[in-house]
Amino acid sequence: MSIEQLLKYNIVKKDTAITIGVFDGFHKGHQYIFEQLKKLAENSNLTPLVITFINHPLEILNKSFQPTYISDTETKIEYMKNFGINNIIPIEFTKEIAQLTAVEFVNILKTNFNMSYLVIGTDFALGRNREGDPKTLSTLSPKIGFKIKMVDTLEKNSFKISSTAIRKLLTSGSVQKIPPLLGRNFSLRGNVVSGSKRGHSLGFPTANLSIKDKLLIPKLGIYATETKIDSKIYPSCTSIGLRPTFYPKNNTPLMETHIINYNNNIYDKTIEVFFIDRIRDEKKFTSAQKLIEQMNNDVDKAYRILKSQ
């Protein structure tokens, strides 16, 4: 959506309480902001409205920035709607938006979206060069005719909940530490695509998942997972790796999920894999038989982990 489209966009008639952000992963810190947004809107007879960027602003502001995302836009919006927010505007952060002054940006929100309240976190900023920080916005608000609702940063055991913190846990493979921050197990969703059927020949058929570009995958290794197929959850064991035993020159990670005691054909289906715990690093084996023995151990361990939850 361009800024011209944004200016014409009008999904609300009542006065609004608005929050703005990327909201990557829609973690518990974001959820806390949304709780405050809903509560404020209800108490003040306003419509809660979310404007979310589908790309990170640093993609535009810093060309060397290579973003990875915890969730894609479709999944993020689904989580938001499940949280009770139905008025959501996804917009691309562009050079044109980056050049808006804080006053220009706020005037768009006031004029086009009937903004009565802007709900923000302590590190929020909008406008060119991040000039619209909380202090500046508090000065602008009485002049333009809206109010500011400041929401404190949410912490867990003195640990700041943020998308950056969750990304660090994913890249270290510490998926078991993510639920207190994310509010759920980290998951990847994608279509099952045809592979080399190597797993099937070894006695462990796997679902190869096609992952969208720029989505962050956990550290390479073997994981205890749960897989959602047609709204039903199945125990599973997932490998994210380079498959060095058979493809020593491969440098492209592949995600393969063995769904325990499941034999149905799921090619072309969309499935979701939830990461519960990490079992081990990927390693190269001297023979297929050695790999099969280890895979048996991995599946047994994954099943025990899942049963103990």
Interior CA angle at 32 toward 31 and 34, to 5°?
65
Please report the pLDDT score of residue 202 as a whole number: 66
The pLDDT confidence band at residue 292, using thresholds 50, 70 and 90, is: confident
Q: Domain residue spans in the chain?
A: 14-160, 185-307
Q: Distance between CA atoms of 173 and 220, rounded to whole angstroms?
A: 8
What SS3 string covers 196-231?
A: CCHHHHCCCCCEEEECCCCECCCCCEEEEEEEEECC
* Residue 3 reports pLDDT greater than 70: no
Residue bearing tokens 């361990």: 301
The proportion of the chain whose per-residue pLDDT surpasses 70, expressed as a percent, equals: 90
Chain-wide mean pLDDT for the chain? 90
The pLDDT confidence band at residue 218, using thresholds 50, 70 and 90, is: very high
Average of pLDDT values for 123-139? 94
Please report the pLDDT score of residue 95 as a whole number: 92
Domain 185-307, architecture per CATH: Beta Barrel (2.40)
pLDDT tens, position by position, 171-205: 999 999 999 999 999 999 999 987 666 656 666 78
Q: 0.85 exceeded by the pTM?
A: yes
- Name the residue with higher pLDDT: 202 or 218: 218
Please report the pLDDT score of residue 199 as a whole number: 59
* Residue 248 reports pLDDT greater than 80: no
Superfamily of domain 14-160: HUPs (3.40.50.620)
Secondary structure percentages of the chain, helix, strand, coil, to 5: 35, 25, 40
Which has the closest alpha carbon to 205: 213, 190, 195, 220?
195
User: Residue 276 in contact with residue 223, Cβ under 8 Å?
Assistant: yes
* Residue 251 reports pLDDT greater than 80: no
Please report the pLDDT score of residue 232 as a whole number: 96
The pLDDT confidence band at residue 166, using thresholds 50, 70 and 90, is: very high
